[in-house]
Amino acid sequence: MHFDQRTQQALRAVGLETDDLQTASDAVAEAVADDAATLESFFNEHETVYSDMDMAHSASDYPEHSVDYADITTHAAEMRGWLRFDTWGVYVEGGRILDAENDDVELTLGPTINDRVRFAADRETLR
């Protein structure tokens, strides 16, 4: 179960039983795994994506990135992985799908970016 002890105590105080907590925990883990698979598919299905990342040497407001691969794993409610572009890669975590058609996603990129970044299959989606 991924709920910490304080959260478990609070949920029990409002009437949830241990079985309810386990069911909720399992549902969260499944939702995170589904989102991770969707994010991984988004990057693996597009050879090129665009982002709202502020890049010092980019002439565009929405830089283009050639995708090599995405490898995203989960553990309970945590999502982490690696996103590799043609010339660089970055640690990622905490991704989410921003629209139902998976044309717009968001990830937290680790060092050296250290920011939430939106990615889309086209620049229009980011405008």
- Predicted local confidence at residue 56, as pLDDT: 62
Rounded Cα–Cα distance for residues 46 and 112 (Å):
24
Question: Residue 94 has what pLDDT?
Answer: 93
Whole-Å CA distances, 22 to 17, 36, 41, 100? 9, 21, 28, 28
Tell me what pLDDT residue 4 has: 86
Domain annotation for the chain: domains and CATH numbers: 5-126 (2.70.180)
One-letter identity of residue 97: I
Q: What is the largest CA-CA distance in the chain?
A: 56
- pLDDT per residue over 58-85, tens digit each? 678 899 999 999 999 999 899 999 999 9
Answer whether 96's CB lies under 8 Å from 116's CB. Answer: no
Q: With a cut of 50, which residues of the chain have pLDDT below it? A: none
- Give the per-residue pLDDT at 102: 62
Cis preceding-peptide flag for 112 (omega within 30 of 0)? yes
Instruction: At 31, list the tokens.
Output: 């939702």
